[in-house]
Amino acid sequence: MKKRFGSTDVLYLTTIASLFTLLLTTAVSVHVADPVPDQDTPARPDITQPFITQQVTATAYCPCEKCCGQYADNITASGKSVWTNGSKFIAAPSYMPFYTWVIVPGYNDTAVPVLDRGGAIKDNRIDVFFPTHQEALEWGVQEVTITIFHPSNEE
C-alpha cells in the first residue's frame, strides 16, 4: 500500500527541512558585526582563512578623556572614526595589524576589526571599545579566548 501525502504533510516536511537547514547554517557560520548605515566599515574577514585562538585580558574603554587622555579625539590609531563599524572594534598589540578581524566572546560575539592601539596594549592584552563610559565600566576587565582571522586587505 502506498501512502499519499496531503498538502499538510508536505507543508510539515518542508518546514522541518527549512528549520534543519537554518540550524545547520547557524551552527557553522561566524556572524560578523553589522555596520551602522553610512559608516566607514573595513572589508569583512574571509572566514575560510586559517585562524588561531589566544587567551587575552580584555579591558573596556570609551572615547572619553578619562579612558583616552590626550587622544580623546574620536579618531582611532588607524585613522578611522570611533563610530566606524557601529563602534564595534578593538585596540590590539602591534603584532595584530590594523584590519585584522577578531571574535571576542561576550563582546557582541561577532567578528570586529582591530582599529586602535594603546600604551598598555602589549603581549596578551586587548581593549574592547564601547561608545559610553558606563558600558565600558559594565564590561570591566575580563579574561577571554579570542579567535583571530587574517587581516583584510584594507588600508
| Confidence at residue 49, expressed as pLDDT on a 0 to 100 scale | 67
For residues 126-137, average pLDDT: 97
Q: How far apart are CA 42 and CA 112, in angstroms?
A: 9
Tell me which fold the domain 51-149 belongs to.
Barwin-like endoglucanases (2.40.40)
Question: 42: buried, middle or exposed (CB in 10 Å: 19+, 13-18, 0-12)?
Answer: buried
33 DSSP 8-state letter: P
pLDDT in tens, 28-75: 334 444 444 445 556 666 666 658 999 999 999 999 999 999 989 999
For residues 140-151, average pLDDT: 91
This prediction has a pTM of 0.69
The b/e string for 68-97 (b: 16+ C-beta within 10 A; e otherwise) is beebeeeebebebebebbbbbbbbbeeebe
